[in-house]
Structure 1
Amino acid sequence: MPNLMRPRWTKLNSLALMVAGFAPAAISGPLDEPHLNITLRTDDEIARIERVLFGVDDYSKAHQFEAKPAGAATVRVLTNADAFSQPTENMPFEDELDFKVGNGLFRKLWVSSPSSTLASDGLGPLFNARSCQRCHIKDGRGHPPEDPKDNSISMFLRVSIPGGDAGAMVEIEDYIATSPEPTYGEQLQDFGLPGVPAEYRLQIDYEEIDVALSDGETATLRKPTYTAANLGYGPLHPDAMLSPRVAPQMIGLGLLEAIPAADILAQADPSDSDGDGISGRANIVWSVEYGMPMLGRFGLKAGHPTIRQQSAAAFAGDVGISSPLYPAPYGECTSAQVKCQTAPHGDQDVRGFEIDSEGLDLVTFYSRNLAVPARRDVNDPKVLRGKQVFYETGCVSCHTPAYVTHRLQDQPEQSFQMIWPYTDLLLHDMGEGLADNRPEARATGKEWRTPPLWGIGMTEQVSDHTYFLHDGRARSLLEAILWHGGEAEAQRNAVIEMPAADRVALIEFLENL
């Protein structure tokens, strides 16, 4: 077992070498970042980065830059549900209109074709929601249906079957070949336009599990079982693999995209060569836009390399909207769904696609620049004690606290900022309890990308719930921790066994992020 009392923020010690262009031999994978217009760092900047990025050994006060988790892009804290919907603080005035127009497209309710509103038609014919905002309500976190009558508007099931032609993916080492489910494609949609049957209804059944904690305390977890009920096009393939997904929060995406790939890859340790029990692997995925393998950063299994591709894929799968990256006018319905493929669509005449390149760029700009709120009371003694517990328990082995972003020529909001997202953006084996048993690119059925933690303490304020993890099964941050297994089992056990006061402090720290 690793030494849980040792501060673990140590895998970034080679940052100065990497930003200078030297990558240790252990780093593998694509370092090209064609989506970013990068200026190389100077020797002076490399030295400054080395000074500010270091392991923590003083928990008596907050780090001098910790109160602003997004650097100069950090915004003040609002006390209402709009806290995640603000533009970055350092956005140039002339770009604010693009942010507002992008917000309008993000919130737009799409309608079916044909329609007199030519700029808004093209919905479906199969879809999960009529707008991006319907899943990412207030740009926050989605949730599972809370009772059998509640729809699953911010949650769906991905689906695929094993095997198939890897095609260009043979360039990606350890790529796991899968294929769309022959009848239902890659995602199950629970809404259809008139005359086009919906694909399914999401059914979730929960089993209660009690967990004994130290000091006589207990916690109760709920273990979900997912069923694709009321299938509209016949049975699923017998080898179909289902993966539940809840819409994640939207803040800070542009800053995550601006983290140097080398800094992320430097933390990968697939063979656990340092013996700390934590591996971490990069998901290398295919870029639809650039036609090359790239580092996956976005999605619950890091299945997309850029915000633009993630946005276009969501338009196609969630709303049934075509774009230059995913041009099928009927979304992702299959050849077995004839009524879906032959229904009227909205990509004729005016735009060429249901959302064209300019519209996709505006949504990307909006998504890139949703701001991270400032932290609150970072020097509160309870918060500082919780921070010490978080670090010394080893949570920072995956939830890497801080980075310095690339210096970017045309993205001043994200350029050369010290940020505190608390993620390594790598894949980790989280054990059988959280396994969906569905691979995605290099990610196995037990691996998930480490989620960023910034803003997690404001979930209830923004989203009016406290559901966490990829499928919202955890009803509190403590429950989310207790579901950790695999590489994080030692940390989970440490939380179970630590004094109750330390558990309280740990949650105080997380709620302060």
Structure 2
Amino acid sequence: MRPVSALLSCLLVLAVPVLTLAGPDDAPWANLRDAHLSIIPRTDDERARVAKITAPPTDFAAPWTFEENAGGAQTVRARDTADAFSQPAANLSFEQELDFRVGNGMFRRIWVSAPASTLASDGLGPLYNARSCQRCHIKDGRGHPPEGPDDTAVSMFLRVSIPAPDAIARYIAGTHATAPDPTYGTQLQDFSLPGHAPEYRLRVDYDDVEVPLSGGEVAMLRRPTYTAADLGYGPLHPDAMLSPRIAPQMIGMGLLEAIPTAEIIARADPDDADGDGISGKAQVVWSDAHDAPMLGRFGHKAGNPSVLEQTASAFAGDIGISNPLHPAGSGECTDLQTDCTAARHGGDAEQGGLEIDSAGMDLVTFYSQTLAVPARRDVGDPQVLHGRRVFFDSGCAACHQPNHVTHRLEGEDPASFQLIWPYTDLLLHDMGPDLADNRPEGRADGREWRTAPLWGIGLTQAVSGHTQFLHDGRARSLLEAVLWHGGEAQAARDAVVAMPPEDRAALIRFLESL
């Protein structure tokens, strides 16, 4: 059960130490720890090597050293099949690959309602968006919005929140304080067990937007409008804010969480002090696993600090499965959904009364951390090389930072000290009014989104059977995704509109090679 009053109290108590961090020069930033990692500090020699290899490039005539190995030593051969994102990292030990395989089985597990003869698989719902992790992240790739009013084969939902009461907002000044909808919580579920009403039906309507391009070309965008239709538990709060989400691709997540927090924060420039028009800022969230503020890395607004906590949130919110970080057997149900909170859950005494215990969570987390990044394709192709120069010259790399070097880690951690090429800075950026959901989340306002990693983006069609991009899948091609950019990316977007068609084609060809 999730009492709304308790959630508000947590918001008040936990947000205070997190959200008073105003900038990279403030002392509290220095206290942010990578608490989820066992770190071996870099030597002076290693720091110098990292600085050299991640310095802005000057030579665009040929492929860069190690550029083909997008995931460092974890990189695997690129496949042009639906399994391209489902391979184990190349540097796993035999024992680690066994854990990967078991975690894969749990990731694909179809959960059923309780009570059931299969105790390890019951506990679904009562309200849910999917019956398995794989159901949203199909083949470990990205989801898509509904293609029509009767399309239920989607991996998309609406987040919901309301402005927090003024008293709480005053305590966490400097943040965008929100609270759950009193009836529907923080996420709308479109499926339910028998005897329970689903919370809503997602409806999407599109309007065409024509964008003239140089050379007489024209792009047709589609502007979505989202409706929470057929509400099952009465109206939403009058101040409810909705935000669409599709499931992101899964590759390279363990590498992303091993990038040093200090290096990510060093790139933050929330007040645009250097005047370059790019003012990325760090998301800072409270870690339930480590009882401390941490850098947010995962989710479209970087709302989770680690793969473990992202996984735990998804089990509770998407499937209704209780776990060590979210122990409520009724998942996302609120106090006002009394039939839901009173329903029987699948807690197992052998798992501490939970529907998935820490051992199961660790296996799914390890699987998610070690899904391999495919190798780059055609890195020496002349059009790809030209497109890479266009990418940098037009300013795209200001947010989509090409490479990072991960922490050196203890033991046999496969993410340790890897040069990786995810093309993201993991910071929040203002993307302008067209992409705004107008729903704050933590330190992100209603126009800000985390820079999405671009590695593997050219394999979307092979893996997911579509080319629908951005947080809500509105873009039906990479070009459309670029043309939706605004805010800090407006200048780069306008450069793409105005450049010669052959440069634009080369840019897309480069993105397809990632």
**Which band: TM-score by shorter chain?**
over 0.9
Paired position in structure 1 for 2:261: 261
1:212-260 C-alpha deviation (Å, 9 max, x unpaired): 0001100000000000000000111110000000000000000000000
Map of 1:195-210 to 2, 5 A cutoff?
Answer: 195-210=195-210
Q: Which runs of 5+ in 1 are unaligned?
A: 1-22
Distance 1:289 1:24, change over 3 A: closer
Correspondence 1:159 to 2:160 = yes
Q: In 2, Cα distance between the equivalents of 1:127 and 1:313?
A: 13
1:418-447 C-alpha deviation (Å, 9 max, x unpaired): 000000000000011000011111100100
Correspondence 1:233 to 2:233 = yes
Distance 1:212 1:204, change over 3 A: same
CA contact (8 A) 1:74 1:89 kept: yes
Map of 1:38-77 to 2, 5 A cutoff?
Answer: 38-77=39-78
Paired position in structure 2 for 1:405: 406
Report the more deviating stretch, 452-461 or 26-35.
Answer: 26-35
Paired position in structure 1 for 2:376: 375
Q: CA deviation at 1:502?
A: 0.4
Paired position in structure 2 for 1:220: 220
Q: In 1, Cα distance between the equivalents of 2:130 and 2:433?
A: 31
Distance 1:164 1:344, change over 3 A: same
Paired position in structure 2 for 1:475: 476
1:80 is matched by which residue type in structure 2?
Answer: T
Map of 1:231-380 to 2, 5 A cutoff?
Answer: 231-351=231-351, 352-380=353-381
Q: In 2, Cα distance between the equivalents of 1:319 and 1:169?
A: 34
Structure 2 counterpart SS, 1:238: coil
Paired position in structure 2 for 1:431: 432
CA contact (8 A) 1:312 1:323 kept: yes
Q: In 1, Cα distance between the equivalents of 2:470 and 2:81?
A: 23
Q: CA deviation at 1:153?
A: 3.2
Paired position in structure 1 for 2:127: 126
Q: In 1, Cα distance between the equivalents of 2:436 and 2:511?
A: 24
1:386 is matched by which residue type in structure 2?
Answer: G
CA contact (8 A) 1:163 1:177 kept: yes
CA contact (8 A) 1:135 1:154 kept: yes
Q: CA deviation at 1:411?
A: 4.7
Q: CA deviation at 1:168?
A: 12
Correspondence 1:445 to 2:446 = yes
Q: CA deviation at 1:24?
A: 7.4
Q: CA deviation at 1:323?
A: 0.3
Correspondence 1:183 to 2:183 = yes
Structure 1 counterpart SS, 2:339: helix
Distance 1:164 1:294, change over 3 A: farther
1:436-484 C-alpha deviation (Å, 9 max, x unpaired): 0111111001000000000000000000000000000000000000000
CA contact (8 A) 1:27 1:268 kept: no
Distance 1:54 1:367, change over 3 A: same
Q: In 2, Cα distance between the equivalents of 1:505 and 1:242?
A: 37
Q: CA deviation at 1:173?
A: 6.9
Q: TM-score, normalised by structure 2?
A: 0.93
Correspondence 1:112 to 2:113 = yes
Q: In 1, Cα distance between the equivalents of 2:216 and 2:79?
A: 38
Report the more deviating stretch, 369-378 or 285-294.
Answer: 285-294
1:212 is matched by which residue type in structure 2?
Answer: P
Q: CA deviation at 1:412?
A: 2.8
Correspondence 1:32 to 2:33 = yes
Distance 1:168 1:487, change over 3 A: closer
Q: In 1, Cα distance between the equivalents of 2:234 and 2:477?
A: 37
Deviant stretches of 4+, over 3 Å = 23-28, 164-170
Percent of matched pairs sharing the same residue: 65
2:251 is matched by which residue type in structure 1?
Answer: I
1:33-57 C-alpha deviation (Å, 9 max, x unpaired): 1110000111221122122122112
Q: In 2, Cα distance between the equivalents of 1:169 and 1:422?
A: 37
Distance 1:24 1:466, change over 3 A: closer
CA contact (8 A) 1:118 1:350 kept: no
CA contact (8 A) 2:405 2:419 kept: yes
Paired position in structure 2 for 1:16: none
1:400 is matched by which residue type in structure 2?
Answer: Q
1:327-363 C-alpha deviation (Å, 9 max, x unpaired): 0000011111111111110114232210101000111
Q: In 1, Cα distance between the equivalents of 2:115 and 2:169?
A: 37
Q: CA deviation at 1:288?
A: 1.2
Q: In 2, Cα distance between the equivalents of 1:390 and 1:176?
A: 33
1:350-407 C-alpha deviation (Å, 9 max, x unpaired): 3221010100011100000000000011010000000000001110110000111000
CA contact (8 A) 1:128 1:153 kept: no
1:108-148 C-alpha deviation (Å, 9 max, x unpaired): 00000011110000000000000000000000000001122
Structure 2 counterpart SS, 1:161: strand
1:52-102 C-alpha deviation (Å, 9 max, x unpaired): 122112111010110001111101112210010001000111111111111
Paired position in structure 2 for 1:136: 137
CA contact (8 A) 2:168 2:177 kept: no
Paired position in structure 2 for 1:393: 394
Structure 2 counterpart SS, 1:469: coil
Q: TM-score, normalised by structure 1?
A: 0.93
Distance 1:209 1:436, change over 3 A: same
CA contact (8 A) 1:402 1:418 kept: yes
CA contact (8 A) 1:166 1:177 kept: no
Paired position in structure 2 for 1:102: 103
Q: In 2, Cα distance between the equivalents of 1:136 and 1:50?
A: 35
How many pairs are equivalent? 490
Q: In 2, Cα distance between the equivalents of 1:216 and 1:28?
A: 52
Q: In 2, Cα distance between the equivalents of 1:112 and 1:63?
A: 52
Q: In 2, Cα distance between the equivalents of 1:27 and 1:388?
A: 38
CA contact (8 A) 1:152 1:202 kept: no
Paired position in structure 1 for 2:423: 422
Structure 1 counterpart SS, 2:92: coil
2:143 is matched by which residue type in structure 1?
Answer: G
2:278 is matched by which residue type in structure 1?
Answer: I
Paired position in structure 1 for 2:86: 85
Structure 2 counterpart SS, 1:448: strand
Distance 1:168 1:435, change over 3 A: closer
Q: Which runs of 5+ in 2 are unaligned?
A: 1-22
1:228 is matched by which residue type in structure 2?
Answer: A
Q: In 2, Cα distance between the equivalents of 1:387 and 1:285?
A: 34
Q: In 1, Cα distance between the equivalents of 2:109 and 2:469?
A: 27
CA contact (8 A) 1:27 1:265 kept: no
Q: In 1, Cα distance between the equivalents of 2:83 and 2:508?
A: 23
